[in-house]
Amino acid sequence: MDLQLFLQVLSCCAIITTIALFLCGIPICIEIMRRKGTKDISGVPFLMGLLGGSFWLRYGFLKDDSTMIIVNLVGVSLFAIYCLFYLAFANPRCGFATKLTMVVSLIGAMAAWVEYNANLNYLGIACMTFNILNFGSPLAGLGVVLRKRCCDTLPLPMCIANLLVSSQWFLYGNIVRDAYIMVPNGIGMALAVFQLSLFVIFPRQENGKSVASHVVGLFSAREEDVEKGDVTSTQTASTGISLVSGKKLMRKLSETLE
């Protein structure tokens, strides 16, 4: 495939998956509306999304990158709506209103500064910093996971989505030779892989079994499973390992992921 054609396909995929990730704020807004308040629901992700998206949007315009312009134009619009929605239900409103005012002031200051000093490198460093902070924010709950020895506080779909989106943007940054896109998304990929590895090591629910423990159990099947026809036992002189049939394997893994 021609590199230019591949870049166009990758750009379309990155736009679709990133906007889909931005839409994850909708269930949070629905939950806020259901509760009729914002208790125990942080508005910081909305503020960071608005701030980072605005910086990346200006970066896209400065670089004349249509892919980044489209993605961040949609992102800024969505996060602005999320912030206003959160503000409407916040109690008291003054705390979130103050934070929102600070974010808008930072965006305004950035826009004015870039207008008189259109330095792509300075703006790129700022964008990269916001991206790294956004990717690393889920690690705040790492201590809870290690203490409880389960992953019930980590959102698996979000971790998978972060891996997919960061991988696409890392590849995009590599093709267009933009280190400010590559570096934060490379870090995002590593953090997403680390988070997903926790789902292998620890169970998704307390008192449950992890994927790793199930895999180990597959190689120590009991004799009664052989009699039921679930296991095909092939003894070798060197290992004596029982080979588990596909049916047993799929059932075990599906139980783990429930």
pLDDT at 52: 92
State pLDDT tens for residues 174-231: 999 999 999 999 998 998 898 888 888 888 766 666 666 666 666 665 545 555 555 4
Token reading at 169: 């943007």
Q: Are 45 and 32 in contact (CB under 8 A)?
A: no
Does 247 have pLDDT greater than 80? no
d(CA 67, CA 223): 58
Give the type of residue at 64: D
Which pLDDT band, with edges at 50, 70 and 90, does 159 fall under?
confident
Which pLDDT band, with edges at 50, 70 and 90, does 241 fall under?
very low
Among residues of the chain, what percentage have pLDDT more than 90? 45
Cβ-Cβ contacts under 8 Å for 239 (sequence gap 6 or more): none
State pLDDT tens for residues 1-17: 688 899 999 999 999 99
Domain ranges of the chain: 3-201, 211-257
d(CA 207, CA 209): 7
Predicted TM-score (pTM) of this structure: 0.75
d(CA 54, CA 75): 8
d(CA 134, CA 250): 36
d(CA 151, CA 145): 6
Query: 185: how many CB neighbours lie within 10 A of its CB?
Result: 26
- The residue with tokens 């499973």 is 225
Token reading at 70: 């489209």
State pLDDT tens for residues 17-72: 999 999 988 988 998 999 888 887 888 889 989 999 999 999 999 999 999 999 99
pLDDT at 231: 47
